[in-house]
Amino acid sequence: MSREPESPGSDGRLRELPSVDRLANHLARTVLARRREELLAGDSADSDLVALAEDLLQPSLRPVVNATGVILHTNLGRAPLARSARAAVQRVAAGYSNLEYDLAAGGRGSRRDHVSSLLCELTGAEAAMAVNNCAGAVTLAAAALAGSGMRAERVSPGSAGGGRELIVSRGQLIEIGGSFRIPEVVAQAGARLVEVGTTNRTRLSDYTGAIGPETGAILRAHPSNFRTLGFVEEVEIEALCGLPVPVIDDVGSGVLADELELLADEPPVRRSVRAGAALVCFSGDKLLGGPQAGLIVGRADAVECASSHPLARALRIDKLSLAALESTLALYRDPELAAREVPALAMLLTPREELERRARQIADASGGEVVEVSSRVGGGALPLTDLVGPAVSVDPGASGADAAAASLRAHDPPIVVLIRDGRLLVDPRTLAERETELVAGAVRELVRPGADARGTSGR
């Protein structure tokens, strides 16, 4: 019998593999050490050391199946990437890239160049840059235009003063996820906060009365995860940009698909650019549907001021996120293509009949009941929008809902569901086609062990 030829160099790689004994001993020592610590800490409960060993072999960051219906689930990584974005990450991750290399000139380039022209094309801005998240973008913008030592004339020719004060409406002194508070951002940026107006009403005259020789900029912060209703008043971006100081507009989620009626409650980036905002900041991983990123677009002089600030290096975006961001932005050249290919948008626009088909498939497999639910977009986006549609309510049986949900989280891959009124709630809106069948099978096995596998077909 002929022996299958080995690939060149395979002998050396095979010899580098650790022996079974060495690998097993290392794992055993780690498991026993962890169990010893638990016992010394007073944990007398039985422990499955084999299961503990298997857990240690699992990577910490793992893919999960989101069956909660929350599209931009912050705890589950927010927006999943489009296929083209995933492919772009894989291409760049496989080897070297021209991250900061100008292939035409044969010298050093800027990582900013990979997305700046696309961002300008899509938003109408004069210049653009990307950093690692939107909180960083707002901090950098504030530091660049109103931080200590920044000169207002660099971004607003003819204006007076040293550029140290940042004017913010009291109604926009907000806190978003992770205790990100506007007053603390202003302080960390080296600017001096000047509050104007009241919690519910701020007028143009409030801003004009606060502008003085020490004013660096006005900051408008979109209240991403809440809305103030009733006796309220705020100044529109066009009026703010008519004042004689630069305006930083934090628009939050990053809406480039202006045509979608469902996104009408979020401020479109293009409107702020048209109004003349010096810098407009928004997220890459919320409604834009890309990787975690903070995007800054606006006037060329203001963007240059931000990109040359020392803080810009500390907040710079990495090559994998840049690859995914460039690919995602390219989809928005065709709004209809973006609506189909960007998962966050596709989930928002999934037809009801498709959701009903998925829900019925899961219900038939598990013996659950199709019910009407209202879920949120998540990620601080569209806080008043109810996503109404079908979901599956499943009786967890004697084990109880908490134990049943924990069992699903222990599945491979882990499945995350909601608990409502003592029952498991599985929302198909955030499930891909292949995941619908997987979830149907996992829930069926949980509540009806040994049931005919054909139950997952929905036929």
Q: Is residue 9 part of a domain?
A: no
Q: What is the rounded end-to-end Cα distance, in angstroms, of the chain?
A: 49
Three-class DSSP category at 402: helix
Span 87-133, pLDDT tens digits: 999 999 999 999 999 999 999 999 999 999 999 999 999 999 999 99
Q: Are residues 371 and 229 in the same domain?
A: no
Arithmetic mean of pLDDT, 161-173: 81
pLDDT of amino acid 383: 76
pLDDT of amino acid 448: 75
**Spatial separation of the C-alpha atoms in residues 392 and 389, rounded to whole Å:** 10
Residue 313 pLDDT exceeds 70: yes
Q: Which of 40-49, 241-250, 395-404 has the lowest mean pLDDT?
A: 40-49
Q: Are residues 298 and 384 in the same domain?
A: no
- In which band, very low, low, confident or very high, does the pLDDT at 327 lie, cut at 50, 70 and 90? very high
Q: Is residue 363 part of a domain?
A: yes
Q: Are residues 254 and 394 in the same domain?
A: no
- In which band, very low, low, confident or very high, does the pLDDT at 334 lie, cut at 50, 70 and 90? very high
Strands annotated E in 360-452: 369-375, 387-394, 415-416, 418-420, 423-426
Strand partners, 219: 168, 248
End-of-domain residue from the set 338, 357, 382 = 338
Counting beta carbons within 10 angstroms of the beta carbon of residue 82, is it exposed (0 to 12), middle (13 to 18) or buried (19 or more)? Answer: buried
Residue 155 pLDDT exceeds 50: no
Q: Is residue 306 part of a domain?
A: yes
- In which band, very low, low, confident or very high, does the pLDDT at 57 lie, cut at 50, 70 and 90? low
Instruction: State residue 43 phi and psi, 5-degree precision.
Output: -80, 105
Q: Are residues 138 and 69 in the same domain?
A: no
- Amino acid identity for residue 24 in this structure: A
Q: Is residue 89 part of a domain?
A: yes
Q: Are residues 299 and 366 in the same domain?
A: no
CATH code (residue 440)? 3.90.1150.180
Q: Is residue 99 part of a domain?
A: yes
Q: Is residue 13 part of a domain?
A: no
Q: State the DSSP H helix or E strand holding residue 66, giving kind and residue range, or none if neither.
A: strand 65-66
Q: Which domain holds residue 317?
A: 83-338
Tokens encoding 168: 């913010």
Contact present, 303 and 397 (Cβ < 8 Å):
no
Q: Are residues 389 and 258 in the same domain?
A: no
Residue 5 pLDDT exceeds 60: no
Neighbours of 270 (CB within 10 A): 17
Q: Are residues 47 and 155 in the same domain?
A: no
Q: In what order do the strands lie in the sheet with 294-298?
A: 127-131, 294-298, 279-283, 247-252, 215-221, 165-169, 192-196
Q: Are residues 245 and 320 in the same domain?
A: yes
Arithmetic mean of pLDDT, 402-430: 95
* Domains of the chain: total: 3
Span 226-239, pLDDT tens digits: 777 788 899 999 99
Q: Are residues 88 and 226 in the same domain?
A: yes
Q: Are residues 299 and 165 in the same domain?
A: yes
CATH code (residue 160)? 3.40.640.10
Q: Are residues 203 and 313 in the same domain?
A: yes
Tokens encoding 78: 């927010």
Cis omega (within 30 of 0) for bond into 413: yes
Per-chain mean pLDDT for the chain: 87
Span 366-408, pLDDT tens digits: 999 999 999 889 887 887 788 999 999 999 988 899 999 999 9
Q: Is residue 260 part of a domain?
A: yes
Q: Is residue 281 part of a domain?
A: yes
Instruction: State residue 50 phi and psi, 5-degree precision.
Output: -65, -45
Q: Are residues 115 and 70 in the same domain?
A: no
**Spatial separation of the C-alpha atoms in residues 32 and 417, rounded to whole Å:** 33
pLDDT of amino acid 450: 65
- In which band, very low, low, confident or very high, does the pLDDT at 454 lie, cut at 50, 70 and 90? very low
Polymer length of the chain? 459
Strand partners, 167: 194, 218
